Amino acid sequence: MIVVFLGPPGSGKGTQAKLLSKQKHWPQLSTGDMLRASIEKKTRLGEEAQAFMDQGKLVPDSVVIRLIEERNKESDCRLGFILDGFPRNISQAQALDQMLSRQMRKVDWVIFFDILDVELVKRFSGRRTCVQCGSMFHLESVPSKLGNQCDQCGGVLSQRPDDQPEVVEKRLAIYHEQTEPLVGFYSQQNKLKNLDARLPALEVFNRLSDLLK
């Protein structure tokens, strides 16, 4: 099964994709994670993408489409995968449909993570990520047992540069302008399922599992 997670930044797509990936053994294909890994490895692609990401802008479609095209051919994607953060606009969605139809496949379901901006701004201000293993925490709702250190691997916790308030504002504006139209795009295809993303993570996951039964 091919499932797209659609929703604003900070709505919990990454957390839920990790949980679902563990349950179903479908890999999580996150363009944001792939881009951050390229930046970490200091590849040319990473250098190109970083300037866009630091300003909260979308990186060019050609870059992310190529990343997904290469990744989805790997053998672990055979039975299905979860797209987390891709597509982010109509032209990426069209490119995805074309790519999958060449492989005689299609998007099965699109889960829409429904949440208001005010909730998201609260979440972003406390979000922390482990620089070593990528585990995510929140100062209030999911604190690390070790304070400013990751309680999974001991790595340092830091705030992503694109989680700074002025960048968050920009990312939300771009989301409403470019990504939100995908709600209409996929509901016309009868693929959209709504998920209340304000709830605590485990409750969201229970509902997500029900939606995909």
| Separation between Cα atoms, residue 123 and residue 141, nearest integer Å | 9
| Separation between Cα atoms, residue 31 and residue 82, nearest integer Å | 11
Between 60 and 89, how does the x/- string for binding to ligand AMP read (CB under 6 A)? ----x--------------------xx-x-
- Phi/psi of residue 110, nearest 5 degrees: -125, 120
Nearest to 55 by CA among 178, 162, 158: 162
Active site residue 36: no
Active site residue 13: yes
191 binds ligand AMP (CB under 6 A): no
The minimum distance between CB 8 and ligand AMP, in angstroms, equals 9
When binding is defined by CB under 6 A, the residue of 32, 72, 120, 137 that contacts ligand AMP is 32
Of 52 and 109, which has the nearer Cβ to ligand AMP? 52
58 binds ligand AMP (CB under 6 A): yes
The minimum distance between CB 35 and ligand AMP, in angstroms, equals 5
Residues 161-180 that bind ligand AMP (CB under 6 A): 162, 171
Instruction: Count other Cβ atoms within 10 Å, centred on residue 95.
Output: 20
When binding is defined by CB under 6 A, the residue of 52, 131, 132, 180 that contacts ligand AMP is 52
SS3 state at 172: helix
Give the full edge-to-edge strand order of the sheet including 127-130. 136-138, 127-130, 157-158
The minimum distance between CB 213 and ligand AMP, in angstroms, equals 27
Q: What angle do the packed helices 61-71 and 90-102 form, to 10 degrees?
A: 30
Q: Which residues form the interface with ligand AMP (CB under 6 A)? A: 9, 31-32, 35, 52-53, 56-59, 64, 85-86, 88, 92, 162, 171
